[in-house]
Amino acid sequence: MNKPIAIVTGGGTGIGRAVAEELHRSGMRVRCLGIDVDIDVPGELEFTKTDVTVPDAVRVALADLDKVAVLVNAAGIIKHEGREFTPEGFRSVLDVNLCGTQILISALQERLIASAGAVVNVASMWSFFGSEKNPAYATSKAGIVGLTRSYAVALAARGVRVNAVAPGWIRTRLSVAALDDPSRSDAIMARLPMRRWGTPSEVARVVRFLCSEESQYVTGVVLPVDGGFSVA
């Protein structure tokens, strides 16, 4: 029996990698698309180096697949030192985080319909907050909310569910600078009800739920995975 296929963008590092490993453990064949990959990524995960902002490159990376049961859009970037305030920096972050997500959904739409599949996008706590230092990142993640809800409505009648997770302070490459800076981490922890950082695997398990039969009547949801940060 052929295993159902999952595509995970950004699946070589951080939350994306944790999702890819979780879906593989659940019995899926997993193909990861992206640029960066950890040197110790398990060999059972297929990794195809792909720029998710280039539709032709995405089509080539997926050309051999007839059906896809799950798409998880976890590829994302953030720029520091004020670079997101420049037109070029702002655009580059949106291209990966928001436009890349739409490109993948568009490329796989018919194959997801054929499988009555599921899409999970990775939003963020910054989908709901303004960011003093990272306006492009916050804007891109706010856009993920609108994109998720729009595709949920557009594809529901064709059997595809589209949801998102909104991680909070999860220890990854993108957040380590803040979490290891006492001047920032102390203030974050003071607000964080669960009083600890989250892990990529904790996000991954929620993603797996949203891809599973247990969530068959759930679509258009943006589910925080943030230890209560967004309600404190």
Q: Return d(Cα 139, Cα 195) in angstroms, integer.
A: 27
217 catalytic residue (yes or no): no
Domains detected in the chain: 5-170+199-227 (3.40.50.720)
Q: Return d(Cα 138, Cα 118) in angstroms, integer.
A: 25
113 backbone dihedrals φ, ψ, rounded to 5°: -60, -40
Closest CA to 197 of 209, 207, 189: 189
Which residue of the set 90, 137, 151, 197 is catalytic? 137
Residue 178 confidence (pLDDT):
76
Residue 81 confidence (pLDDT):
95
Residue 48 confidence (pLDDT):
97
Q: Return d(Cα 148, Cα 189) in angstroms, integer.
A: 29
Task: List residues bridging with 70 in a β-sheet.
Answer: 6, 118
- Digits of tens for pLDDT over the chain (232 positions)? 689 999 999 999 999 999 999 999 999 999 999 999 999 999 999 999 999 999 999 999 999 999 999 999 999 999 999 999 999 999 999 999 999 999 999 999 999 999 999 999 999 999 999 999 999 999 999 999 999 999 999 999 999 999 999 999 998 877 777 778 888 888 899 999 999 999 999 999 999 999 999 999 999 999 999 999 999 9
